[in-house]
Structure 1
Amino acid sequence: MTSSPALPETTLSQTVLPATMRTSVLLHQQQLTIEDRAVPTPDSDEVLVKVAAVGVCGSDVHYYREGRIGDFVVDSPLVLGHELSGTIVAVGADIDAARIGERVAVEPQRPCRSCRECRAGRYNLCSKMEFYATPPIDGAFCGYVTSQTEFAHRIPDSVSFEAGALLEPLSVAIASIRKAQIVPGSSVLIAGAGPIGIITAQTARAFGAGEIIVSDLVPAKRERALKFGATRVIDPVATDPATLGLDVNAFIDASGSARAVDSGIRSVRPAGTVVLVGLGNPEMTLPVAHIQNLELTVTGIFRYVDTWPTAIHLVASGQVDLDALVTGRFDLDHVAEALDSDRDENSLKSIVYPN
């Protein structure tokens, strides 16, 4: 995230900070370059974080390959990467210098704090939101970033920097499970065994779900789901889940597939909940009469609110394993390879190490 010019009242770490940092910049679709950019200086309410690890997200891949996600269009150079962790090395004038040296996971949001949605506690829906790696806000494929202090969450030494970076997709899963109203004994169908689907399965287990069914087209991904919380897997090509009488409390789509969404909706019991997470076709046909007759609640997920404390607890307590999800590691010179790593069906989460 970009910041204002240097402020003289900033408190720096005892280590002398460099004037510039290497930065991976998306110039155009599938065109990346390395630039030397000035190390940002935190505003009075911010901290400066030396980036340790950055997870590659599907949104990064969309911006890299297609240059857009819906209404968000890359029309000028952009730094990708919003799943990040690191160490605080400097603080702004209003921040206690004792924070310097803290290991943190950064919640990549900067809401305005004053609009209707922010005042209502829905800061993820802030109309003036500045979100890392979302045009025109730069992300974290670079040496240092600034963050408002409350969004730089301290992580214990038992949580690795890799896991700290992946608290962001875990937060998506937590938001989804909360929306799905999963409680001990609940049953849930999850479509898609990619990173979000796998993390959501683990989170459902941590929230006490008794039955966690995961569907995916790829056999290897279905097998992997069984290792990360799924109690049952389904090949949706061989058998339409809607024909199995699953009668689940909730359906969570992490695939973006219109067919999976329709099938999932038809697998939910009366008064159940449908949560749409996956990025797919921006428009699709839904079985409206079915939704009405069963009084289903259908909702979407747009990022998260106040999930990091829960995420840190789930990882630190061993209820969710994020380290085991890392299948690829890349330096800043190989960001393109990191972004293309999803083409390998054995890939789950790739990490970029800027420093």
Structure 2
Amino acid sequence: MAKDNLTAVLYGINDIRLEQRPIPVPKENQVLLAMDVVGICGSDVHYLVNGRIGPFVVEKPMVIGHEAAGTVVQCGKAVKHLKVGDKVAIEPGISCRMCSYCKSGSYHLCPTLTFCATPPDDGNLARYYVHDADFCHKLPSNMNLEEGALMEPLSVGVHACKRANVQIGSVCLVLGAGPIGLVTLLSAKGMGASKVIITDIVQHRLDLAKQLGADQTILIEKGMTDDQIVAKVKQLLGEEPTISFDCTGQEQCVRVAICATKSGGVVVLIGMGKFEMTIPLAGALIREVDIRGVFRYCNDYPTAIEMVKTGRVNVKPLVTHHFKIEETEAAFEMAKSGKGNPVKILIHANPNWTPSK
């Protein structure tokens, strides 16, 4: 049995360390995974820089990482749907399965939900990791583990599009072309949206969005007013969007989403911003614009995997940089600084991984 379980542990603000930890033993409903790929999420960087996100505070050393995929190396005795050698995408939130939310299908709202790398729960940036088997999704043969790790962010986009009821003919506005904005774009196009326009303050992100299928892009320049942005959206689309997604959490973007959306349309708020904002709520009410929130995902991994498996969605262009687990500190430094224009940074925990030529 291997003994190397190099693990990335966040000790506090700007203090991430690599250390050896015991290889965990799976319980009867769990699988032991040889971890392959873990993506860096904005929340991981936020914990590193600020030590907290809202009420979730890093008070003790916490293993980082939650966008992940690995290979099954041992199964608990009650696990029937997976076997040794299966490659899986890891859904990082585990619910109680017993409360009214879980039983009604909204397990992501479970009050006792545990989530990888959300204090006080450890994440999975390690050589080996155990996870409940029913939250491990087997990957089809035509998907690799890098794509598997990207099923976590893609599921956010899928969930948002399901909340908005995106369908053939939908006209969508996406505010923010970071990783979540880009997967929302991919999901909307994959579900049949006829037009998607996306905004950002950084041109290289918009260039990638165009590559991924955006019909129009808008570079938001400093000093642009809400009305100017709304007018630009309508001008480029030739009509008002029926659905708008805010993927930034910025107050101006929330206002623009509400003002730009066609009467009777839907605004979905994905980005986590200030607890309180000033928004044109009366304008939304008299035009019957629905405002819907999104919290991660729920029963969306199978959809995300199917979209990639069938070629409806290609997540590979999102990946811009690769690091070995031994280079974790450098990977997070790039994520913090933005140098090199990273979009999605992947860390490879498999000691046998070598960069593709």
Q: TM-score, normalised by structure 2?
A: 0.91
User: In the alignment, which of 323, 326, 331 is matched to residue 319 of structure 2?
Assistant: 326
What's the offset of the Cα at 1:279? 2.7
* Residues in 1 aligned to 2:246 and 2:203: alpha-carbon distance in whole angstroms: 18
What's the offset of the Cα at 1:333? 2.3
Matched, 1:138 2:88: no
* Residues in 1 aligned to 2:305 and 2:82: alpha-carbon distance in whole angstroms: 21
Matched, 1:184 2:159: no
> Secondary structure of 1:182's partner?
coil
The corresponding residue for 2:110 is 126
Matched, 1:221 2:205: yes
Contact 1:70 1:282 in 2 (8 A): no
Distance 1:119 1:97, change over 3 A: closer
What's the offset of the Cα at 1:300? 1.4
What's the offset of the Cα at 1:97? 8.7
Of 236-245 and 197-206, the range deviating more from structure 2: 236-245
The corresponding residue for 1:42 is 26
> Secondary structure of 1:339's partner?
helix
Q: Map of 1:1-355 to 2, 5 A cutoff?
A: 17-96=1-80, 99-237=83-221, 240-244=228-232, 245=234, 246-342=239-335, 343-344=338-339, 346-355=341-350
> Secondary structure of 1:266's partner?
helix
Residue deviations 1:286-326 (CA, integer Å, cap 9, x gap): 11111111111111111111111111111111221112211
Structure 1 residues not aligned, in runs of 5+: 1-16
* Residues in 2 aligned to 1:219 and 1:35: alpha-carbon distance in whole angstroms: 39
Structure 2 residues not aligned, in runs of 5+: 351-357
* Residues in 2 aligned to 1:58 and 1:126: alpha-carbon distance in whole angstroms: 23
* Residues in 2 aligned to 1:300 and 1:260: alpha-carbon distance in whole angstroms: 15
Distance 1:178 1:162, change over 3 A: same
Of 173-182 and 319-328, the range deviating more from structure 2: 319-328
Contact 2:82 2:138 in 1 (8 A): no
Distance 1:219 1:97, change over 3 A: closer
Of 97-106 and 40-49, the range deviating more from structure 2: 97-106
What's the offset of the Cα at 1:19? 4.0
Contact 1:21 1:144 in 2 (8 A): yes
Which residue identity lines up with residue 334 of structure 2 in the other structure? S
Distance 1:299 1:340, change over 3 A: farther
The corresponding residue for 2:354 is none
Which residue identity lines up with residue 248 of structure 2 in the other structure? S
> Secondary structure of 2:134's partner?
helix
Contact 2:177 2:198 in 1 (8 A): yes
* Residues in 1 aligned to 2:341 and 2:65: alpha-carbon distance in whole angstroms: 21
| Paired positions, count | 339
* Residues in 1 aligned to 2:99 and 2:334: alpha-carbon distance in whole angstroms: 39
* Residues in 2 aligned to 1:297 and 1:20: alpha-carbon distance in whole angstroms: 51
Contact 1:256 1:280 in 2 (8 A): yes
What's the offset of the Cα at 1:241? 2.5
Contact 1:91 1:97 in 2 (8 A): no
Q: TM-score, normalised by structure 1?
A: 0.92
Which residue identity lines up with residue 90 of structure 2 in the other structure? V
